[in-house]
Structure 1
Amino acid sequence: MKITVLGCGRWGSFIAWYLDRRGHEVSLYGRETSRNMARFLETRDNGLLTLPESITLTTDLSKTREAEIVIISVNSQGLRSLMEELSAYELKNKTYVLCMKGMEISTGKRLTEVMEEFMDINSNVAVWLGPGHVQEFYRGIPNCMVIDAKEEETKDLLIQAFSSDLIRFYYGNDLIGNEIGGATKNIIGIAAGMLDGLGLSSLKGALMSRGTREISRLMEAMGGNGISAYGLCHLGDYEATVFSKYSHNRMFGELFVKKEDYDSLAEGYYTVMAIMKLSRKYHVDLPICSAVYEVLFEGKEPKESLNRLFVRSLKEEF
């Protein structure tokens, strides 16, 4: 299959490498101003992996016309502007796959909802979510992930085309829940990093338990299935997000409370703003998300805000 991957960061470049190994005809797009693309064009290596010559590198967005499947792996807040650019090429009959986790801050929309504003009637959109780090996949360490879409045919097409011994894909059956779970696990990751930075790592078990329950309530309020919070999109991704040294969100949270700079993308920083809008819209109490928001955007003391989560008024667990 002809596949174009839009976004040449660590995850987009891994996907291109992975799908090339699956025997697909893969192109990897990055902007002319992208340092990642400049490095790939010069050495085909980004310090994490080396791209084979069989992968076409391009800075020409119009080449997307040639693809059957368009995989998007960019900053979630840049999705709308990317789709506005793609609209100029009047793309038809495409299967889009979002390999990114987040929400649009300005509207509070899920990313598939943003996509639906731009797609033609014969195109479909899916999400690719779940645990795993580029560094581990590249070393051959396998993991399980999930693909979800509104149409069963879209899921069938993608899972058959993408599955391998390295990544076992499961069929998702709750697009709302999976999107919310994938986005919010990054907020929990930031909270976990804050606990690490404060020397409170032993509270991560409680954080995981209560975080999953909190997000399941939001899923249900939005019309999804609360059980999805316990699947690969959320709880199943906690090891990679809450504990791993490779987790950008966990590291961001740790360095934030230590008052140290972090120059990589932590999607949870943006997602928590959108999630607080949803909390108000759907009247759902999200204490962990609220605490992270207070610390990041209202200047609240991290230790005080996080401690308050675990000394709230006494109540039954479930």
Structure 2
Amino acid sequence: MRVTVFGCGRWGTFHAWHADHIGHDVMLWGRPGSKNLQELQATGRNAYQEIPASVTLTDDLEKAVRHAELCLVVVSSQGMRSLLERIRNVEGAAGKVYVLCMKGLEIETGKRLSEVFCECMPKTRVAVWVGPGHVQDFLRGIPNCMVIASSDAQVTELVIEAMKSPLIRYYYGTDLIGTELGAAVKNVVGLAAGMLDGFHYGSLKGALMARGTKELSRLVEAMGGDRMTIYGLCHLGDYEATLFSPHSHNRRFGEDLIRGIPFTKLAEGVHTVRAVMELSKEYHVELPIARAVYDIVHGGEDPKTVLTGLFLREQKPE
């Protein structure tokens, strides 16, 4: 199968490697002037891996779209809409199958990424791909489990069949609301976990995990999803990779914030928490952990006071 990966950062490059590894004809697209693409073109690798010579690198969007039968979109959540608005103008773009491999919400609208996709490219087949795992671990041959979800079961089946691999066991997702919210908001909980690490309060992560799943399950239910989805791979199952791993950008952002160290890599939770607070207002669901992260990261409030306040709230039934 011909596969195009849109986005040549850490995860985009891994997805290109993985698709090539399982036998597909792969093209990897990066925007013109992308430093990531320039590095791959000049050296054949990035900080994490080598890119196979059989993977075609390009900054030509039309060429990338025309190449593909299956399109893996691996750009930042906030940059997805503008990319799709360009892709949809390419002849034949609507006939492809698209897989959104990011975790986040659109800040301006609070919309899930599949909702943004359907606005930009209506009546086009789309799935989301979420779940635990780090590039570094996959490249060492450590397998993991992930979820492919779509509102169309045939699309889910097509994507899983195309991407089946000894490295990844896929599960079929049927609840797009819970799957996408769970994947996005676990990054917010990751920020809080990193802050706890910064204060050497790691023993509080257990309570953070228990309450994080609880509060998010209420929001998912209020939005029409299945609250139990949060206890699966999209959220709780991804906590180790996000709340504990040294590879987690969100955890590291939180820790470095407390330590006063600038963090320059992408931590999606920083953006996502703004959209989450809008959803909290819209659906009248209290989200104490998300509120605490928002108040610290965007409100400039004292991290120690806010974080310890989370664990000293009034007593009530669990």
Shorter-chain TM-score bucket reads: over 0.9
Q: Which residue of 1 aligns with 2:3?
A: 3
TM-score by length of 2: 0.98
* CA shift digits 1:256-277 (9 cap, x unpaired): 1122100100000000000000
Q: For residues 134 and 54 of structure 2, what CA distance do their matches in structure 1 show?
A: 23
Does the CA-based 8 Å contact 1:146-1:170 persist in structure 2?
yes
Q: How does 1:153-232 map to 2 (within 5 A)?
A: 153-232=154-233
Q: Percent identity?
A: 56
Residues 1-318 of structure 1 mapped to structure 2, 5 A cutoff = 1-63=1-63, 64-90=65-91, 91-121=93-123, 123-317=124-318
For 1:161 and 1:69, the matched residues in 2 are separated by 9
Q: Describe the superposition over 1:26-78 as per-residue Cα deviations: whole angstroms up to 9, x where unpaired.
A: 10000121111001111111021111111111110001123111111111000
Distance 1:8 1:26 in 2: 13
After TM superposition, give the deviation of residue 164 of structure 1 in Å: 1.4
Q: What is the rounded CA distance, in whole Å, between the counterparts of 2:214 and 2:119 in structure 1?
A: 31
Q: Deviations over 1:189-246 (max 9, x none)?
A: 0000000001111100100010011111111011000001100000000000000000
1:156 aligns to what SS in structure 2? helix
Q: What is the rounded CA distance, in whole Å, between the counterparts of 2:94 and 2:85 in structure 1?
A: 14
Q: Find the residue that maps to 1:144 and give its secondary structure.
A: strand
Contact preservation (8 Å) 2:2, 2:67: yes
What secondary structure does 1:97 align onto? strand
Please identify, of 263-272 and 75-84, the stretch whose mean Cα deviation from structure 2 is larger: 75-84
Q: Secondary structure of the residue that 2:274 maps to in structure 1?
A: helix
Q: Under a length normalisation based on structure 1, what TM-score does the superposition of the two structures give?
A: 0.98
| 1:108-145 C-alpha deviation (Å, 9 max, x unpaired) | 11010000012242x21110000000001001000000
Shift of 1:83: 1.0
SS at match of 2:45: coil
In 1, Cα distance between equivalents of 2:94 and 2:229: 32
Distance 1:84 1:266 in 2: 24
Whether the 8 Å contact between 1:32 and 1:38 is mirrored in structure 2 is no
Q: CA deviation at 1:87?
A: 2.5
Is residue 88–residue 94 contact of structure 2 (8 Å, CA) maintained in 1? Answer: no
Amino acid at match of 2:171: Y
Give the Cα separation in 2 of the matches to 1:228 and 1:308.
28
Root-mean-square deviation (CA), in Å? Answer: 0.8
What secondary structure is seen at the aligned counterpart in 1 of 2:121? coil
Separation of aligned partners in 1, 2:120 and 2:278: 23
1:115 aligned partner, one-letter code = F
Deviation at 1:88, TM superposition (A): 2.3
2: CA distance between counterparts of 1:111 and 1:65? 23
Give me the whole-angstrom Cα distance separating, in 2, the residues matched to 1:259 and 1:214.
Answer: 29
SS in structure 2 opposite 1:117? helix
| Contact 1:112-1:125 within 8 A present in 2 as well | yes
Equivalent AA in structure 2 for residue 56 of structure 1: T
Structure 1 stretches lacking a partner, 5+ long: none
Secondary structure at the counterpart of residue 95 of structure 2? coil
Name the CA distance, whole Å, in 2 between partners of 1:68 and 1:162. Answer: 13
Long gaps (5+) in structure 2: none
- Secondary structure of 2:107 counterpart: coil
C-alpha separation between the residues in 2 aligned to 1:295 and 1:250?
14
SS at match of 1:261: coil
